[in-house]
Amino acid sequence: MMNFNMVTNELEMLGNIILALEVKNNITNYSSDFSNSFGLDVKSINIDKTVDRKIGKILLSVVVLISGNKNEDFKMDIDIEGIFSTGIEKTDESFLQLLYINGVTALLGILRGKIEAITANVFNGGKVSIPFVNVLDYYKDITSKK
């Protein structure tokens, strides 16, 4: 069992909102045999300072594409924004790393549930489950390109 004294309080989620959602669908019955692809883009991360906290805002975009039989296809574009905070003593660089790794992971978890719920209601049968993402590798890839 995890000792809750070991849980970090360096990052606090203040809230999230779905900013945009677009679904284009002509699939009636979803099948796991269909071709699925998934795209992820951290569009922006901004840090602001208050008197005693730093506030970070993440804009994350996810695209789900499915190709089925004949002309059956599905596309979902969804943008989510999350607001996080940390103590004022945290450096901008370490806060940015927390946002990229922990913040993006939290937002992906939220989107995973929403995508499953939406697709379960859109299709006559079945739902789409997006894969898990190694956000640490994603962060390393993004920072190596800067």
In a domain, 101, yes or no: yes
Q: What are phi and psi of 89, to 5 degrees?
A: -75, -15
**Per-residue pLDDT tens digits of the chain, which is 146 residues long:** 555 554 567 899 999 999 999 999 998 888 878 898 999 999 999 999 988 999 999 999 999 999 987 888 999 999 999 999 999 999 999 999 999 999 999 999 999 999 999 999 988 888 888 888 888 887 777 777 76
Cα radius of gyration rounded to whole Å, the chain: 18
- pLDDT for position 126: 80
Domain assignment of residue 30, given as a range: 10-144
In a domain, 86, yes or no: yes
In a domain, 2, yes or no: no
Closest CA to 54 of 108, 98, 19: 98
In a domain, 105, yes or no: yes
In a domain, 5, yes or no: no
- Residue 48 makes CB contacts below 8 A (sequence gap 6+) with 54, 55, 56, 57
In a domain, 37, yes or no: yes
In a domain, 24, yes or no: yes
- pLDDT for position 8: 60
Question: Are 79 and 20 contacting, i.e. CB atoms less than 8 angstroms apart?
Answer: yes
89: domain CATH number is: 3.10.420.10
Record the tokens describing residue 50, joined without a space. Answer: 């208050």
The total of structural domains in the chain comes to 1
- pLDDT for position 107: 96
DSSP 91-126: -HHHHHHHIIIIIHHHHHHHHHHHHHHHHHHHSSB-
- pLDDT for position 3: 58
